[in-house]
Structure 1
């Protein structure tokens, strides 16, 4: 099946517009855009509290990109904690054939839902 002109145009015309930042949190890297919510590993912050992340790896203000080595100096991302949640249940099943050994466990990851309030570089908000 070959792509139609409509689908190729949609793919080519859909670059990310607006500001975004790539930050390091909970040992992982996240692509954050303003006024969107994300689920991170559980953070020790109360609901409706704010959190500032200083480990910003990359910042794009819509025109120019700033890449840190390893972090962008003076860049912060302001997050508002919306809720503490739990992720989907994952079933872990281990079995040794012909030994009558079976073990079934479940796991739900503890998550914190955060809203990105602002991305700031050098004291100036870009979003």
Structure 2
């Protein structure tokens, strides 16, 4: 598949293709209570769209470019364990953290009202 887009969401840039799913930390426009299953989303922060031989580049974002998708589910990522130790002081601290994550699937990529 030669059609893809680069979007900005969750503080990161992500290369997306139609029909694939992705995990991101959070959507800037959605609150946590709106992240139920099958919620439709529109992403307007599109940096680049590559349509086979043509590349459309935004400065910073493309106008009239929309990524349509839907949320599959929210989940917790794997636990990260942090262990701090000061040698010769007898101090140790161990704790963990699990980040909230959202899995979404891209349904279509559209530019200037036409689906690619």
**Structure 2 CA distance for aligned equivalents of residues 117 and 123 of structure 1:** 15
Deviation at 1:86, TM superposition (A): 0.9
Structure 2 unaligned residues grouped into runs of 5+ = none
Matched, 1:94 2:103: no
TM-score by length of 1: 0.83
TM-score by length of 2: 0.90
Residue of structure 1 aligned with 2:16, choices 15, 32, 47: 32
Matched, 1:111 2:95: no
Higher relative contact order (CA 8 A, sep 6+): 2
Check conservation: 2:65, 2:110, Cα contact below 8 A: yes
Structure 1 unaligned residues grouped into runs of 5+ = 1-16
Which one has the largest radius of gyration? 1
RMSD (Å) for aligned C-alpha atoms: 1.0
Count how many residue pairs are aligned between Structure 1 and Structure 2: 110
Give the structure 2 partner of residue 50 of structure 1. Answer: 40
Q: Which runs of 4+ in 1 moved over 4 A?
A: none
**Structure 1 CA distance for aligned equivalents of residues 111 and 76 of structure 2:** 32
Check conservation: 1:93, 1:103, Cα contact below 8 A: yes
Q: How does 1:18-29 map to 2 (within 5 A)?
A: 18-29=2-13
**Structure 1 CA distance for aligned equivalents of residues 54 and 109 of structure 2:** 14
